[in-house]
Structures are given as C-alpha cells and as structure tokens.
Amino acid sequence: MHTVVVGTSGVTASDVLAVARGGARVELSEEAVAALAAAREIVDALAAKPDPVYGVSTGFGALATRHISPELRAQLQRNIVRSHAAGMGPAVEREVVRALMFLRLKTVCSGHTGVRPEVAQTMADLLNARITPVVHEYGSLGCSGDLAPLSHCALALMGEGDAEGPDGVVRPAAELLAAHGIQPVELREKEGLALLNGTDGMLGMLVMALADLDTLYRSADVTAALSLEALLGTDKVLAPELHAIRPHPGQAASAANMLAVLKGSGLTGHHQDDAPRVQDAYSVRCAPQVAGAGRDTMAHARLVADRELAAAVDNPVVLPDGRVESNGNFHGAPVGYVLDFLAIAVADLGSIAERRTDRLLDKNRSHGLPPFLADDPGVDSGLMIAQYTQAALVSELKRLAVPASADSIPSSAMQEDHVSMGWSAARKLRTAVDNLTRVIAIELYAATRAVELREGLTPAPATRAVIDAVREAGVQGTGPDRFLAPDLAAADAFVRDGRLLAAVEKVTGPLQ
C-alpha cells in the first residue's frame, strides 16, 4: 500500500488524495518527530511559568481572560474538545473526514503547534486503522478553523464519541480504538486547542473538488465537441491562431481539446448547406471561452490550495525563536473565496452545456434533427424530460453559486465577530460538482444520439470511439421511448469514473 510520509514542510494535493480517497498509510518523518518534541518543550516551559499564555493556561475565545491553574488544565483541554463537538445534521463523507484528519496532522507535524509526538502518532494510527470519526454537516463557521468538525475528530482521539470502522459500521470510538490496539490520548496544555484550530475541512474539500473538476472540464470539452458535431457546426472557431490573440491559457487548452476530438469529422463544416448560417450559436461557438475561464479560475484556486497546504494554521503558534504568539491565520477567507469562485464557474459550465442540449432537441434550431431526438415524434417524447432534469440541475447550480463567503455571523459573544463561512462554501461546492457531472452526462447522452441520427455522415474517430464505448457501458442509443432513468444513470457513471476521457484519449492522446 502507498505510504505518505508527513514532514515539517507541508504536503501536496496528491498526498491528500492518496490518504483521503486511496487509503494510503501515513508515517511521521524523523524530522517531524524532532520538531514536535522541540515545540513541546517550549509549551511545557511556558506552562510552568505563572504568567498566563493563551491556549496554554487560559480559557478560550471570549473566556480567554481567565487564568487556569495547573490542576485544571488537562480538564480544560478535554472540555474544549467535548464542548466544541457540537455538530448536527447528516454525517459528512468518509473522504472528507480523512482529508480533514490528515491535514490537521500535517499542521501538527510542522512543529508550530506544541502538540506532543505521541498525539501526532495517534492521529496517524487512526488514519491507518481506517477509523473515521463521525463528523456532522453543520457546526463550522470557517473561523477559528473548522471547529466543530475538527472537535469530533479530536473526540475520537480521546476515545469518546462515535466513529466509523473500516467495515463502514458506526460504533463508539472507544470500542474501535481498543479493537485496533490504539490507546486514547490524554490531552495536555494547548493540545485540545491545537487539534481544533484549522482550515483543514474546507481545504480538503477544495483539493478534492479541484481533482474532480480537472476531469469534468476535460469531459465538458468532449461533450461540447460532440454537440458541435451533431449540430453540423464549424470547427474553424477552434483554430489556435484565433485563441492566441486573446491569450487566456484555459481558453486555448479548451479549444485545442475540442479540435483534437473533432479531427477527421465528416459532420463539421456543413453550416453552409441547406440552411446557411454565418456563425454558430454562442453556446457552441463560445464553448472554449466559457470552459477556459473556468480552467483559469481553477488555476487560481490551485495556487491558493498549494499555499494553504504549505501553511501551519493554528492559534497560538510556536515560533522558531521560542515565542508563542496569537494570530488570525485560522480565518478561512482565502479558501472560502476560491471555493465560491469555483461554484460560479461550475454553474456557468453547466448552464452552457444545458443550452447546447436544448438546441439539439429543438427542431427549429437543430438543423435537421427530429424533435427531441425522438424516434416517432408525437408518439415518442424522446429526450424531452431528460432536458427538464438537466435544467433542474442547472437551476440548482445557480443557487449553489451564491457565495457563502459574502456572509458572516458573529459568534463567541462578539469576540469572533467576523467569520469566513468557508466550510459552507466547500459543502455547497461538493454538491455543485456532483450535479455538474450529471449535467455533462445528459449532454453526452443527447449529443451521442444526435450524431447517430446524422445518417450518411461520418463522425470523427474520437467521437465514434465515445459512442461505441458509451453503448458498451449500457447507455442505449436511438429507438422508441423506454425507461430513461437507467440510461441517464449509466451515462453519469461513464463520465464520473473517467471512462469518457479514457475512450477519447485512446484516439487523441492526453487532453489538456
């Protein structure tokens, strides 16, 4: 099994995906263990002094004015975890919790938190045993970090609360730890606070969304090319010299992908035949510009994610010179903004895909295709309601594009009077990415059927390969009306698991 070694200098997006989705094992480097021990010595020295230090010998948030005596400090750390584990609603996905735990471990291992090495090792042990704390949908405001979600994870380290075992069954965390020979941790000064103060949940969801969108944007280039072909459009608008004079890199990549998919097509260029038209509709002609803008948005989001992956987010932090200083690095604004930005791009990509689908189904705009791509229009409804489903999904995407990060609800008796709502931005982006997959699948379903209806004209080798592969996957083609939901589900799976791209790239080589 793949192993990810956590050091002091952060991790990569590939590391996050390997642990969250691939079940990779986690090990602490010798450098990380040494840094943990050195930082802990500083915290222990401060704890022994009479002067109050936030997070070490004081209360938290609005209660930070109280100095906590040594005999109550272990209880203080336990209490912050218990009281902050206040999430509600459905349990979030296993991959999200694993990403959150791993990213918190990454910061702990930086040597800036003052957590003991044995606590960090126990965090790794839970990941390696595939014990996943139950984390609920609601509870994070994205400031002071993802407090409630991280608290539910810290609670499991203490042997409290519920967790999901490797078999997917939820049990008391104490039982699962005992079954895997893991000793619950007894938290000491600062450790409870250090386990809660991070942007790890929203960051993990950002990393996974970027990975999914990388696949979906290339898939959308393929379905856009299929629709252009089915509508007898022109591929001249994809010429690289046209995109070079407006040098957005995402736009050029999208156009190049579409051109590669359409190479050798016998359907393109017929826009001057029976019903001459000078230009294709915007949803066809401007596909690279819209998809390209989304790609460039992803590039910015990836830059933010990489910076955050290299960061040590905690409050207070242990500095190399031995100082322990309070800060505001836990604020989720940088991550929240790009999560919302991506949701806007996702909504627009879904919107333009739906417009192409609608055009394929409308006999007045499809340039010779039967109404709704039906076998016997009137007797058959064809894909009429498939487009309704797609429209409903796009409408939901537009609602999900409303930014969460523009909101702020003060908390903690106005001590935490401005929050990022980054966790909420991440949760809605996950829903948006999921729905975008369905939108692209419906365009794929409509466009492949439309190409098949162009009798006497030969599709491009790449699009022919897609049609063959999608039919082999159980997505039926032309013919009388049938129960449509299974076809749409099969098309969704075909896009979601990467078979669409695999079919194309066997002909074109890797798309950009």
Chain segment 339-393, per-residue pLDDT in tens: 999 999 999 999 999 999 999 999 999 999 999 999 999 999 999 999 999 999 9
Q: What is the mean pLDDT of the chain?
A: 95
Main-chain dihedrals φ then ψ at residue 176, nearest 5 degrees: -65, -40
Q: CA-to-CA distance for 323 and 316, rounded, in angstroms?
A: 10
For the cut 70, the answer to whether the pLDDT of residue 234 exceeds it is yes
Amino acid of residue 53:
V
Least confident of 131-135, 327-331, 370-374: 327-331
Angstrom distances, CA of residue 346 to CA of 100, 282, 349: 24, 18, 5
- The predicted-structure confidence for 436-463, as pLDDT tens digits, reads as follows 999 999 999 999 999 999 999 999 999 9
Answer for the pair 361, 354: CB distance below 8 angstroms, yes or no: no
Identify the H or E element spanning 307. helix 287-309
Interatomic CA distance for residues 217 and 206, integer angstroms: 16
Q: Give the helix/strand (H/E) hosting 27.
A: strand 25-28
DSSP-derived 3-state class of residue 162 = strand
* Cα separation, 84 vs 86, whole angstroms: 5
Identity (one letter) of the amino acid at 323?
Answer: R
390 Cα distance to chain centroid? 21
Q: What confidence tens digit (pLDDT) does each residue in 449-505 have?
A: 999 999 999 999 999 999 999 999 999 999 999 999 999 999 999 999 999 999 999
Assign 70 a pLDDT band (cuts: 50, 70, 90): confident
Which positions are catalytic? 54
pLDDT band at 276 (very low <50, low <70, confident <90, very high): low
Which pLDDT band, with edges at 50, 70 and 90, does 122 fall under? very high
**In the predicted structure, residue 312 carries a pLDDT above the cut 70:** yes
| Percentage above 70 pLDDT, the chain | 98
Looking at the DSSP assignment, which residues form a beta bridge with residue 283?
none
Q: Are the C-beta atoms of 309 and 208 separated by less than 8 Å?
A: no
DSSP state of 47: H
Q: Give the pLDDT confidence score for residue 65 in this predicted structure.
A: 74
Contact 467, 416 (CB under 8 A): no
- Range 415-424 average pLDDT: 92
**Euclidean distance between CA atoms 128 and 38, whole angstroms:** 25
**Confidence at residue 272, expressed as pLDDT on a 0 to 100 scale:** 63
Q: Residue 22 carries which DSSP code?
A: T
The pLDDT of residue 55 is above 80:
no
Three-class DSSP category at 226: helix
Nearest to 27 by CA among 109, 96, 88: 109
Minimal CA–CA distance to 403: which of 351, 355, 328, 347? 347
Helices (H), 473-512: 485-496, 499-508
Question: How far from chain centre, in Å, is Cα 231?
Answer: 33
CB 100 within 8 A of CB 134: no
User: What three-state secondary structure class fits 331?
Assistant: coil
Q: Are 339 and 405 in contact (CB under 8 A)?
A: yes
Bridge partners (DSSP) listed for residue 172? 162
Q: Residue 395: what are its φ and ψ, rounded to 5°?
A: -60, -40
Among 4, 507, 1, CA closest to 260: 507
Residue 271 clears pLDDT 60, i.e. is over it: no
